[in-house]
Structure 1
Amino acid sequence: MGKGKKSAPAGRLGRIALPGQRGAALLVFMLLMVMGGLFYIFTGLPSDSTAARRTQQTQETLTLAREALVGHALRYREQQTAQGQPGRMYGYLPLPDLGSTRNNNPGCLPEGCEAANFAGNALGSTVIGRLPWRTLGIEPLRDSSGECLWYAVSGSHQREQRLSPMNWDALGHLDVVVANGTAALASALAGPHERPVAVIFSAGPALPGQNRAPAGGDDVARCGGNYDVANYLDPAAAAALGGVTNYLAGTNKAYAVTDALVPKALTTRGRVFASGGNFLADACPGSDCSLLANDTGLALTGDALFGAIRKHAYFRTDINALLDRMANCLRDQAIASGTAARIADNACYDSTQVPLGYYEHYKEMVFLARPSGPFTVNGDGSCAAALIFAGQRGAGQQRATAAQKLDFSNYLEGANLANFSAAGTVFSGPTTFERAPAQAPEQDIVRCVPGTPSVTPVTSPTLGANQLVAYDTATRTLTLGRQDVTTGWGYNANALFGCGWFSDARAIGNGLRSYFNFQFMDVGGSVGFNGFVFALVDALRNNLNVCGGGSSHLGYSGDNGVTPKIRFPKIGVEFDQSRNTGFSESADLSSNPGRNDPCGTFGCGGTAGYNSHAALVYWGHEAANGFDGVTRPDDDDNVHGFPTAGSLATVRRPPRSHLDPAIESGIKFVNLRGDPVDSSLYHVRVELTPTRTTNADASLSKTAVSLQVWIAADFPTTSSARIDALKDTTRPMSFYMLTDPTFTPTLTDAPDLFDVQEAACVSGACPAGQACGSDNMCYRPALEKIQLGFTGSQRTSDQLVNIKDLFTTWLP
């Protein structure tokens, strides 16, 4: 044999593929793989994957819609207030969009607007229509079939025809039913508190018998179709699911009166098939199958809604303000021994009082206990009663039926329940309603109702029975001044002082918002020539027995020589009816020392036409000062313009009281005399907002205080909305100024209050809450605890001013 390539051994030739053969085999293999993949695609998994993606898209869209609905619910009370309807309660939900021809909403005409009080709406009406996307502030949301979403709101929670009470226990009128292989749909809910208050629907593809063509008349430019609910929500034949439908009666099958006893059943779990007389969920084996429904719904329960509402700071402020008002009112009343019951109705804290509307909706949560013998509230044995606010339902608690609502165990917790039910003696719990879950939702809030009146008067011993201060617990009126005390009985001005302090002090926290009204009364043909001061003083340096001097000191400044003086730091809102020119000081208050009061009358060159004024005052000099001529530093606390700019070189300056109403914001001319007989009634709002700045040298740490004061006379021309705004201390005035920007404060200032010096540091250390300064002295924040009150005085003319309706919202 010649040389060349070796032949393949016998038996191997058939197993050797030539290059062309290998290429053909690879091509065949690839074709088989592609065909297998296509077979795989068209025989199941990709179809399931597509369905899963469509389901996920729909669920995400429904979730977005529910979040938008909850967000709108959180803005509801404020939106209604801005529209002139104060006192609306969180928890009410908008109506659906019923079509532009049915909505009856002149303020919002296009597609996507919520219905207003449409024809046929009634108390307890559940309503179904399209999601009101425009009202919710979103674009139209569509499900995976391209359909816009639908929305059902329970008759218990619709905001046009409002059922009461509205709180976290209000039962929805809706039930969720499911197919379980039997001849009837069954409820999927464990109890009445799980019922939805709203359901958002994806209608899915049309079923036979449903007509989604435009019907004409309504604006459907964005979503198309029509507003007949039965053309979208299922079943197409009303009797197909045993009478269960996702629509109602009335025009377009959109509304019907419902109730909590027989809730409206809805299907929300997607496809429902009928087979052999039974209803099957999602899938149906065999050929005897009829698709009756394909609606997917996402429920909003009352618990979920109020879980979000409780996180709203305004809601928590409102609940705490309600409890503050109740405790303040009750301390001025006699509470019967042996009391253990829900709180009784009272005009002092009803729904007409701030926080507007709350009492009627939450009174079933409030309990009052006063055992016959000794008892304590959070360790305090001086209380007149325990005020208990029951929280949201805890595990096992039910508040659906009348009997359950009478069972205290469905409201109160632990030791409070045991002591309340068995006339026990120990009640305890947090005093403020806080965010959940930081605070357990079911936590009892427990307040002490103090055994002393709301106001503690500070009297002048010289005056005996003729005091210049009195508090009437029946009307909750504080009176400063008295007729004939000066003009008839001739008391010396040194004795003519009187103060009234609110009997509990509070931490400054994030500030406060106070309201009160006052009126100078005619006494002997005049409303007097003095005035009074609303005082905010440091409660750690002052007590309920402090008061200042008579005459032009207005009970705020000076040392009367009998009671302790009012020590700095302090802030006063002064209402002064006359002018004490220049500055002077004297131990004899009858000399009427000058206060640098501004000139407002024409005779002294003023232009206002009157000298009466309002001003923010502080405490003048802390020590004698030659530059300003101050030898009695206790006596210049309400001197305008003090301390002057050149009088002190130190950084730790006391705040300066403003002097000139023409150019300074902390003093203005206000006609406090008003009507020819009694003065006008004046409404006052005070807002204090602190901002802390700490320094490595504690002597330079300070609290910057933003002060704003509104003063409005109650004239016939005064807007009632403005008066309501002043009274509503649960909201900042900045909220109301969004719709009334010209209602600006009368007085403003932003003083720096340097920290208060205490005892010397010990080895560089100070007590808790204090810090050591470079001078080896301890310092604490000024006004870290605030005591509120009113101070007044007389001199040569009588005066009588009635102060009412003081209420303060403290911001924790």
Structure 2
Amino acid sequence: MSARRPCHRVAGNGLLAVLLLSALLSAAGLLAQGELRILAESRAQARSVEALSQAREALIGYAISYAERHPGEGHGHLPCPDAGNSGSSTLGACGARSIPSLGRLPWRTLALPELRDGWHECLWYAVAGSVKNNPKPLVLNWDSPGQFGLFDRAGRQIAVAGPDSLAIAVIIAPGAALTGQIRINTGAGPCPGSASAIDDLPAFLDGGNSLVVPSNFRQGGTADLAGNDVLAWIGIDDIHDALRRRHDHADRIEQIGARAATALDAALASPDFIATHLTAAAGGLVATGPLPLSTVLALPGEHAVAHNNWRDQFRIAACIDGTPCVTVHDTDSDTLHLCRAALLFGGERIREGPDRQRRTTTAEREDAAQYLEGDNAHNYASGIPRFAGAPLFRTIDPRLPATQDVVRCIP
């Protein structure tokens, strides 16, 4: 009997070894499955980021080439979203003027393939009313406001390239359906969902990512059960940084100023122009004010849109008695000119440093120092008829904002 006991111990040890090996293999399998899941999620995230990047570049390209496809309407407009499920922008208006709009990305309108995120969902897109192309804003330039606040998962605001740090467009990869999101593909279009983007919105976008005022969007993550929307965005500075790299952009801005100066010269011949459109400044020599609408200056229709988009960037200082009382220092030629009026253009905002300019609030937009620099701002506010600047607008370095004051003499 005693001779058989070691056999039982050997058999028991063998069974233990088999169970241990089985447990180790099971653990390794679970570990491998976890690693595979993480790898799959990482690859899906990368595909989402790639699709978002492609959509973002296409939207910027659309904005900076808008005038070529829509003559006389200027650059900077972005398309309305796809309110249905066709891949194209909504026909007609997408909401009221100045109101943002949200729907699917209009990939056909942008001449893109049918972009999908890493979970095979179509991209979504929100556009600010300040840049959308239907109905167009009354003013569109490099100071146009954003309408979308962006926040990270910790609730911290994400900086956006613009004067107010708000986005003018947000592109959203909705990711996999979260708990409570039921996505039914009705076959109504190329994208999952129905023929109504608004009806589908709760099933695809995280609860906080909507056009509820204020319109805030939260950056999610693949493993975030509270929200997995992945965002890309565009600020107004992104559009104008790209426009500045166009070889013809500076000339387009320059022509707006040149036409305004010619029209102002003619308007000053009217005896009531100064009294009607300008305000006498301290000192009594000059009257100052913003550049009037195109209708006041009798600009023809083909130039009216550009003028009205950019006129808030200009200031006038005109001699009240019509004599040449304004001294203009041409900094290019280092010469002085006596003028009946000066037309001042502030250029792009100084974006950083102690002289940073802000043109967001009504008070800031009425402050000459947010447009003009140094003595020009002081003299304009004080009614001192002496200004200095370049005679023409130009871009010295396309990588940097063109902030130099432009001062035109109206002799």
Give the TM interval when normalised to the shorter protein: 0.7 to 0.9
Match of 1:56 in 2: 46
For 2:30 and 2:177, the matched residues in 1 are separated by 29
For 1:448 and 1:37, the matched residues in 2 are separated by 82
Match of 1:197 in 2: 168
The one of 427, 433, 437 equivalent to 2:398 is 437
For 2:123 and 2:293, the matched residues in 1 are separated by 44
- Distance verdict in 2 for CA 1:436–1:347, change over 3 Å: farther
- Is the 2:329–2:388 Cα contact (8 Å) retained in structure 1? yes
For 2:123 and 2:60, the matched residues in 1 are separated by 16
- Distance verdict in 2 for CA 1:204–1:350, change over 3 Å: farther
Match of 2:193 in 1: 225
Query: Does the alignment pair 1:143 with 2:82?
Result: no
Match of 2:229 in 1: 295
Question: What is the Cα deviation at residue 299 of structure 1?
Answer: 0.9
- Distance verdict in 2 for CA 1:424–1:45, change over 3 Å: farther
- Distance verdict in 2 for CA 1:36–1:313, change over 3 Å: farther
RCO higher in structure (CA 8 A, sep ≥6): 2
What are the Cα deviations for residues 315-371 of structure 1, in whole angstroms up to 9, with x where unaligned? 433321111112223334349651333223464755644434111111110012346
For 2:304 and 2:221, the matched residues in 1 are separated by 43
What TM-score do the two structures reach when normalised by structure 1? 0.40
> How do 1:578-597 residues align onto structure 2 when only pairs under 5 Å count?
none
- Distance verdict in 2 for CA 1:430–1:41, change over 3 Å: farther
- Is the 2:241–2:401 Cα contact (8 Å) retained in structure 1? no
Match of 1:326 in 2: 260
For 2:396 and 2:90, the matched residues in 1 are separated by 33
State the percentage of identical aligned residues: 30
Secondary structure of the residue that 1:293 maps to in structure 2? coil
Secondary structure of the residue that 2:172 maps to in structure 1? strand
Secondary structure of the residue that 1:194 maps to in structure 2? coil
Question: What is the Cα deviation at residue 39 of structure 1?
Answer: 7.0
For 1:313 and 1:203, the matched residues in 2 are separated by 38
Secondary structure of the residue that 1:362 maps to in structure 2? helix
Secondary structure of the residue that 2:70 maps to in structure 1? helix
Match of 1:263 in 2: 214
Question: What is the Cα deviation at residue 429 of structure 1?
Answer: 2.4
Question: What is the Cα deviation at residue 149 of structure 1?
Answer: 1.0
Gapped runs of 5+ residues in structure 1?
Answer: 1-30, 82-86, 101-110, 236-244, 249-255, 257-261, 272-281, 284-290, 452-812
1:263 alignment partner AA: P
- Distance verdict in 2 for CA 1:418–1:45, change over 3 Å: farther
What are the Cα deviations for residues 654-707 of structure 1, in whole angstroms up to 9, with x where unaligned? xxxxxxxxxxxxxxxxxxxxxxxxxxxxxxxxxxxxxxxxxxxxxxxxxxxxxx
Match of 2:89 in 1: 114
Secondary structure of the residue that 1:307 maps to in structure 2? helix
Secondary structure of the residue that 1:133 maps to in structure 2? coil
The one of 143, 151, 160 equivalent to 1:177 is 151
Question: What is the Cα deviation at residue 47 of structure 1?
Answer: 5.1
- Is the 1:321–1:355 Cα contact (8 Å) retained in structure 2? no
Match of 2:375 in 1: 415
Question: What is the Cα deviation at residue 298 of structure 1?
Answer: 0.5
- Is the 1:96–1:127 Cα contact (8 Å) retained in structure 2? yes
What TM-score do the two structures reach when normalised by structure 2? 0.76
- Is the 2:153–2:219 Cα contact (8 Å) retained in structure 1? no
- Distance verdict in 2 for CA 1:312–1:36, change over 3 Å: farther
1:136 alignment partner AA: L
Match of 2:315 in 1: 367
What are the Cα deviations for residues 469-522 of structure 1, in whole angstroms up to 9, with x where unaligned? xxxxxxxxxxxxxxxxxxxxxxxxxxxxxxxxxxxxxxxxxxxxxxxxxxxxxx
- Is the 1:116–1:160 Cα contact (8 Å) retained in structure 2? no
- Is the 2:121–2:174 Cα contact (8 Å) retained in structure 1? yes
2:346 alignment partner AA: A
1:115 alignment partner AA: T
For 2:116 and 2:41, the matched residues in 1 are separated by 16
Secondary structure of the residue that 2:140 maps to in structure 1? coil
What are the Cα deviations for residues 370-418 of structure 1, in whole angstroms up to 9, with x where unaligned? 4684613302324333222112221332111111111111111223223
- Is the 1:338–1:370 Cα contact (8 Å) retained in structure 2? yes
The one of 385, 391, 399 equivalent to 2:359 is 399
Match of 1:307 in 2: 241
Match of 1:88 in 2: 73
- Is the 2:337–2:409 Cα contact (8 Å) retained in structure 1? no
What are the Cα deviations for residues 180-224 of structure 1, in whole angstroms up to 9, with x where unaligned? 2xxxx55445886211111001000011222222235x322xx33
Question: What is the Cα deviation at residue 294 of structure 1?
Answer: 0.6
> How do 1:204-219 residues align onto structure 2 when only pairs under 5 Å count?
204-215=175-186, 218-219=188-189
- Distance verdict in 2 for CA 1:325–1:152, change over 3 Å: same
Secondary structure of the residue that 2:303 maps to in structure 1? coil
Query: Does the alignment pair 1:72 with 2:32?
Result: no
For 2:401 and 2:250, the matched residues in 1 are separated by 14
Query: Does the alignment pair 1:162 with 2:136?
Result: yes
Secondary structure of the residue that 2:237 maps to in structure 1? helix
For 1:353 and 1:377, the matched residues in 2 are separated by 33
- Distance verdict in 2 for CA 1:117–1:294, change over 3 Å: same
Question: What is the Cα deviation at residue 78 of structure 1?
Answer: 2.3
Query: Does the alignment pair 1:448 with 2:409?
Result: yes
- Is the 1:171–1:197 Cα contact (8 Å) retained in structure 2? yes
For 1:264 and 1:99, the matched residues in 2 are separated by 21
Secondary structure of the residue that 1:148 maps to in structure 2? coil
What are the Cα deviations for residues 99-155 of structure 1, in whole angstroms up to 9, with x where unaligned? 25xxxxxxxxxx21111225x822233221111111101101111111121111122
- Distance verdict in 2 for CA 1:157–1:346, change over 3 Å: closer
Question: What is the Cα deviation at residue 313 of structure 1?
Answer: 4.2
> How large is the RMSD of aligned CA atoms in angstroms?
3.2
Name the structure where helix makes up a greater proportion of residues.
2
- Is the 1:365–1:411 Cα contact (8 Å) retained in structure 2? yes
- Is the 2:394–2:402 Cα contact (8 Å) retained in structure 1? no
- Distance verdict in 2 for CA 1:369–1:144, change over 3 Å: same
Match of 1:577 in 2: none
- Distance verdict in 2 for CA 1:41–1:413, change over 3 Å: farther
Q: Which moved more, 1:185-194 or 1:378-387?
A: 185-194
- Is the 2:218–2:229 Cα contact (8 Å) retained in structure 1? yes
Secondary structure of the residue that 2:151 maps to in structure 1? strand
> How do 1:595-606 residues align onto structure 2 when only pairs under 5 Å count?
none
Question: What is the Cα deviation at residue 65 of structure 1?
Answer: 0.5
For 1:125 and 1:294, the matched residues in 2 are separated by 26
Question: What is the Cα deviation at residue 269 of structure 1?
Answer: 3.6
What are the Cα deviations for residues 690-729 of structure 1, in whole angstroms up to 9, with x where unaligned? xxxxxxxxxxxxxxxxxxxxxxxxxxxxxxxxxxxxxxxx
Which structure has the bigger radius of gyration? 1
Secondary structure of the residue that 1:193 maps to in structure 2? coil
- Distance verdict in 2 for CA 1:373–1:52, change over 3 Å: same
- Distance verdict in 2 for CA 1:438–1:388, change over 3 Å: farther
What are the Cα deviations for residues 514-558 of structure 1, in whole angstroms up to 9, with x where unaligned? xxxxxxxxxxxxxxxxxxxxxxxxxxxxxxxxxxxxxxxxxxxxx
For 2:293 and 2:305, the matched residues in 1 are separated by 13
For 1:57 and 1:94, the matched residues in 2 are separated by 24
For 2:234 and 2:399, the matched residues in 1 are separated by 23
Match of 1:727 in 2: none
